[in-house]
Chain A
Amino acid sequence: MSTMSDDNKQDTVTIYVDDQPVEVPAGINLVEAVAVAGKEVPHYCYHPKLSVVGNCRMCLVEMGTPGRDRATGEPMLDEEGNPKIMWVPKPVIGCATNVSPGMHVKTESSLVKDCREGVMEFLLVNHPLDCPICDQAGECRLQEFATDYGRGYSRFVEQKNVKPKRTRIGPRVTLDDERCILCSRCIRFCEEVADDPVLGFIDRGSYTTLTTFPGKELDNNYSLNTVDICPVGALTSTDFRFKMRVWFLKETPSIDTESSVGCNTVVGSREGTIYRITPRRNDAVNDTWMPDSGRTLYRQVDADDRMTQYSIEGRPCAAEEALTLASTYLRNGRSAIVASGRLSVEEQYLLTRIASHAPGETPAWLVARHAEGDGKLLSADRNPNVRGALVTGLIDRIPEAQLSQLSAALESGKVENLIVVGEDITQAGISIDQIKKANVVYIGAVHCDTAQYAKVEIPLLTVFEKAGSFINQQFRVQKFAQAVPGPKGVLFGLSNFTQLLAAVSDGKDRIEPSPAAVWTEMAAAIDEFKELSFSAIPSTGQLIPADRFADLPFVEGKSLHFEPRTAVADA
């Protein structure tokens, strides 16, 4: 545990890594401390977010501390007056050794080298060495460390152990026990993070085998994290298995749109096709985890009901034609907007801007998606960006699931034009008859009943096909980048919105269709974004002031790294 003093500053200590002084935070272990010095202590079983077991023995280093005279307690000095270092006679594991002032560490000595060679050799004697058909190849610690720290040849001539292969241990995870190096990361994850202890070892010694408890399977919504933390190819994702070599994958930082937690993710794609989504470390949001449910969201890109065609009353048309008609509606008569909590901050802001050019008051709603939070990385608000709509001023209250006000307004003819973005309002209390009454412009990624009866259909890009930002439950602005190009014919980036804005304003209000340009506008218009720019938002996100919304009854309960305000007030 790191020691934090009251003023939130970490105390530091100076240690010596291979004789080079390095200042490191007090209380961290040697694996982390040596990393501060820019060197590597290879390790398998150690994981920064799990308990330390110290069983792989890969992180053995030599360690010594300044000696003190037993009788007087005075520091012992050598002939030159330097502190005398008392070296521990045996190598120590870096993961379980915490730094202390003046500590010396050898990470490159011949003993350390020999230790690593030994452990590497041992790990490989019963390993099937089936890298050519193994999904982990290319991101396998066993491969990497064998190359970096191994001897490069084998002295093993005996029969290898035989263990179960391609075992289904859950709906999404496949296990190959022969590849397992018994680091126990997955077991600890299930116990400590997922609260679903179903994995364990059976048998003993080299015959130890990972398996699920009798009658149990690894089916919790965090099971695929075991695949991520497995340092070898023992646990593989059944979905990703044999689909793509990992070195071909382009990695794009993204955000999980499942809930307002906003897990940081990496989207792996090749040639415009997404193959997998894995978590990206953010210690303030999701640590190194994400729910399984967020990993299949890439399927929306090629979903059967994906909408990729601009059309007017069911007739395919050019993008400009559809946008012009939409702007014509907006400029004539009373309009309203139904936006989505799944839109980016930029899109939500552009909608407020578009609304500002429409005559009269243009009310806007969001459709709520509330469900039970799991207390971990799925919050009760299943919209990733309700706070974006609040901050940009698109809405001023917590959304509801039923649009009763809008329903009444449509019924009474108070709303003549309706822009629906990314929602199927027939699921939110609006009847098809009511839709038919107004000029409905549907901007969305999927076909639905709303699209069916809308006058104008404009295809929307998914989160994977555009760049932008979301504001999560912590009021943390988080960026996502474009992983794959959008469908053929769909305007890129924010163009749908910026072109509609230009058309509505007679070409007077023009913004470049990039998040950076929209952020320049937002920084000027919105207090919370003052002095922020898109490029200045760090990859781990930027917290913004939330005071303006302190009284709103947000629905989120406690989750990882998040304590709801109301709960804090109650406590």
Chain B
Amino acid sequence: MSLETHIARKNLAIHPKERRIILKHADRPDYDASIDCYLRNGGYDQQKKAFSMKPEEICQEVLDAGVRGRGGAGFPAGMKWKFLDRKSGKPIYLICNADESEPGTFKDRQIIHKDPHQLIEGMMISAFAIQAAQAFIYIREEMPYGAKILEEAIEEARAKNLLGDNILGSGYSCDLVVHRGAAAYICGEETGLIESLEGKRAYPRIKPPYFPAALGLYMCPTIVNNVETLCNVKHIIEMGGHAYAEIGKPGNTGTRIWSLSGHVRKPGYYELENGVHTYGDLINEFGGGLRDGRQLQAVIPGGSSAKVWRAGERFKGKLRSGEEFDWAIEDVPLDFDGPMAAGSMSGSGAVVVIDDSVDIVEVLANINAFYAHESCGQCTPCREGSLWMKKITTRMANGGAREEDTALLASIGDQIAGRTICAHGEACAWPTQSFVAKFQDKFLDKAKQDPEQLSKRDFRMV
């Protein structure tokens, strides 16, 4: 089969309210992944501009822009760069985390498939800013076509001296290579990724002492940024940090690409200005609302590891600005801080909409199966706890639920979260903790269901 048939299809129906910066060109019918097309559209101009600046100036622009990491944690990228240990004298490495594997997330794939040179330009600017000696793109093994596209794009850029030795005559040299991942969710964890890149099992490292900014790849200072974050750097140079910060809301600057999936009419990716829209807008306006006759049951606001929201739930509290809020799910702002204030997180920007057609216990059983399968097995609580929770929810879904399972699940989750090396502990505990807390009635009801009836279903969870 040809490469063309496997790359992500173009979304020709762009919603008028979208604010497309990263994906500005990506879905244009006349736009392709070649460097000629990219150059025709002003490509690599920002790299030339950046290379005329001082590296510290670029770092300052990124800091001024307040761009937060798009990979999941939402940590300001400029701050991350600031922590870099520049005194050690060791080479500095830049890694692009393209191991997009949080269930429900499909934004980085769009960039890689449709506009790879944007990522390369963003990376070369970032590499120059932190004076990296070598840059890597660690791409998910399940995106083989993306890797191929990137490799071709890198060769095109190399031919034009946009990367490699003495880039654009600046005296700065930095090569960029694509590294195919090891097909595991944990390879997307910063330090797990570094271990994997070094050729080892992707066991996340203990922090302290192994903070990547000081002891990263090959024990050298390393910056790991998400694809979307690195693309943003190009636009920060274009606009200037302060101008970029005007987009969105303070502390939630820029745009974000949201991956909307689940029971909506128009699932897909939507690049929206931060803080301007709400989850209600995303689901009902951009996503076209639920299917006919269906009621909203739950929303997972930021990838399957984020804590779930139950339909009808209200979130009350005080924002950092002092402003009081009283939101329904539909009112929660689409940005970093909104979902956080509502007790969950925006994570990787993957919104999963769940209507009343599914059994919520099965939803959790599905999520638990994923996290049990993807636990690296290093830390005891996550390794044993995730599989135990999976075994319980699978049994419950298949008709073996007991009343005490609900409390047991919550307790296991509590024994995992916050007690592991990496955030996979939270990732596997939060769904269980939140599903059980918010849908306690449904979990308890499961024990009352007729096991005979359940076992007659046309499928069985394993």
A residues within 8 Å of B by Cβ? 52-58, 60, 90-91, 93, 96-97, 114-115, 117-119, 121-123, 125-126, 155-156, 158-159, 161, 181-182, 201, 203-208
In whole Å, how far is B188's beta carbon from the nearest beta carbon of chain A? 14
12 cross-chain CB contacts under 8 A: A53-B378, A56-B379, A118-B415, A119-B381, A122-B381, A126-B387, A161-B387, A181-B380, A203-B377, A204-B377, A206-B386, A208-B377
Nearest chain A residue, comparing its CB with the CB of B408: A155
Chain B positions 205-224 with a Cβ under 8 Å from a chain A Cβ? 206, 208-209
Is the CB–CB distance between B387 and A93 below 8 Å?
A: no
From B46-54, B93-101, B125-133, B418-426, give the one contacting chain A.
Answer: B418-426
Which residues of B have CB within 8 Å of A123?
A: 380, 384
Is the CB–CB distance between A56 and B380 below 8 Å?
A: yes
Interface mask (B369-408 → A, CB under 8 Å = 1, otherwise 0): 0001111111111011111100110010000000000001
Is the CB–CB distance between B206 and A205 below 8 Å?
A: no
Is the CB–CB distance between A96 and B385 below 8 Å?
A: no
Is the CB–CB distance between A96 and B377 below 8 Å?
A: no
Q: How far is the CA of A118 from the CA of B142 in the complex (A)?
A: 35
Q: How far is the CA of A169 from the CA of B387 in the complex (A)?
A: 27
Asked whether B184 is an interface residue with its Cβ less than 8 Å from the other chain, the reply is yes
Is the CB–CB distance between A206 and B395 below 8 Å?
A: no
Is the CB–CB distance between A158 and B388 below 8 Å?
A: yes
Is the CB–CB distance between A204 and B376 below 8 Å?
A: yes
Q: How far is the CA of A91 from the CA of B414 in the complex (A)?
A: 13
Which residues of A have CB within 8 Å of B376?
A: 204-205
Which residues of B have CB within 8 Å of A54?
A: 206, 421
Is the CB–CB distance between A90 and B418 below 8 Å?
A: yes
With contact pairs A90-B419, A121-B415 given, residues A96 and B375 touching in the complex (Cβ less than 8 Å): no
In whole Å, how far is A368's beta carbon from the nearest beta carbon of chain B? 45
Is the CB–CB distance between A204 and B374 below 8 Å?
A: yes
Q: How far is the CA of A126 from the CA of B391 in the complex (A)?
A: 12
Nearest chain A residue, comparing its CB with the CB of B428: A205
In whole Å, how far is A47's beta carbon from the nearest beta carbon of chain B? 15
In whole Å, how far is B381's beta carbon from the nearest beta carbon of chain A? 6
Is the CB–CB distance between B419 and A57 below 8 Å?
A: yes
Which residues of B have CB within 8 Å of A90?
A: 418-419
In whole Å, how far is B73's beta carbon from the nearest beta carbon of chain A? 15
Asked whether B201 is an interface residue with its Cβ less than 8 Å from the other chain, the reply is yes
Q: How far is the CA of A203 from the CA of B376 in the complex (A)?
A: 9
Question: Which listed residue, A122, A159, A161, touches B385 by the CB 8 Å rule?
Answer: A122
**Chain B interface category by residue count:** 20 to 34
Is the CB–CB distance between A115 and B419 below 8 Å?
A: yes
Is the CB–CB distance between A55 and B415 below 8 Å?
A: no
In whole Å, how far is A316's beta carbon from the nearest beta carbon of chain B? 63
With contact pairs A52-B206, A96-B209 given, residues A201 and B383 touching in the complex (Cβ less than 8 Å): no
Taking A91-B418, A96-B206 as known contacts, 15 extra A-B pairs with beta carbons closer than 8 A to each other, sorted by chain A number, are: A53-B206, A55-B378, A60-B419, A90-B419, A93-B206, A96-B209, A118-B381, A121-B415, A182-B380, A201-B201, A204-B375, A205-B372, A205-B373, A205-B375, A208-B383
Is the CB–CB distance between B380 and A122 below 8 Å?
A: yes
Q: How far is the CA of A399 from the CA of B153 in the complex (A)?
A: 72
In whole Å, how far is A184's beta carbon from the nearest beta carbon of chain B? 8
Is the CB–CB distance between B184 and A204 below 8 Å?
A: yes
The 6 closest A-B pairs by CB, nearest first: A118-B415, A122-B384, A208-B377, A158-B391, A205-B375, A206-B387
Question: Which listed residue, B184, B372, B374, B380, touches A57 by the CB 8 Å rule?
Answer: B380
Nearest chain A residue, comparing its CB with the CB of B375: A205
Nearest chain B residue, comparing its CB with the CB of A96: B206
Is the CB–CB distance between B384 and A57 below 8 Å?
A: no
In whole Å, how far is B235's beta carbon from the nearest beta carbon of chain A? 33
Interface mask (B118-160 → A, CB under 8 Å = 1, otherwise 0): 0000000000000000000000000000000000000000000
With contact pairs A91-B418, A206-B377 given, residues A122 and B391 touching in the complex (Cβ less than 8 Å): no
In whole Å, how far is B393's beta carbon from the nearest beta carbon of chain A? 11
Interface mask (B409-449 → A, CB under 8 Å = 1, otherwise 0): 00100111011110000000000000000000000000000
Q: Which of A121, A122, A126 has the most CB of B within 10 A?
A: A122
Is the CB–CB distance between A57 and B420 below 8 Å?
A: yes
With contact pairs A55-B379, A158-B395, A206-B383 given, residues A125 and B388 touching in the complex (Cβ less than 8 Å): yes
Q: Which of B378, B379, B384 has the most CB of A within 10 A?
A: B384
Q: How far is the CA of A90 from the CA of B206 in the complex (A)?
A: 14
Q: How far is the CA of A118 from the CA of B408 in the complex (A)?
A: 12
Is the CB–CB distance between B388 and A205 below 8 Å?
A: no
In whole Å, how far is B289's beta carbon from the nearest beta carbon of chain A? 38
Which residues of B have CB within 8 Å of A125?
A: 384, 388
Q: How far is the CA of A58 from the CA of B411 in the complex (A)?
A: 18
In whole Å, how far is A38's beta carbon from the nearest beta carbon of chain B? 26
Nearest chain B residue, comparing its CB with the CB of A127: B384
Question: Which listed residue, B408, B416, B421, touches A55 by the CB 8 Å rule?
Answer: B421
Which residues of B have CB within 8 Å of A119?
A: 380-381, 415, 419
Is the CB–CB distance between B373 and A204 below 8 Å?
A: yes
In whole Å, how far is B415's beta carbon from the nearest beta carbon of chain A? 3
Which residues of A have CB within 8 Å of B415?
A: 114-115, 117-119, 121-122
In whole Å, how far is B402's beta carbon from the nearest beta carbon of chain A? 8
Which residues of A have CB within 8 Å of B388?
A: 122, 125, 156, 158
Is the CB–CB distance between A205 and B381 below 8 Å?
A: no
Nearest chain A residue, comparing its CB with the CB of B186: A204
Is the CB–CB distance between B377 and A205 below 8 Å?
A: yes
Which residues of B have CB within 8 Å of A205?
A: 372-377, 383, 386-387
Which residues of B have CB within 8 Å of A207?
A: 377, 387
Q: How far is the CA of A201 from the CA of B395 in the complex (A)?
A: 29
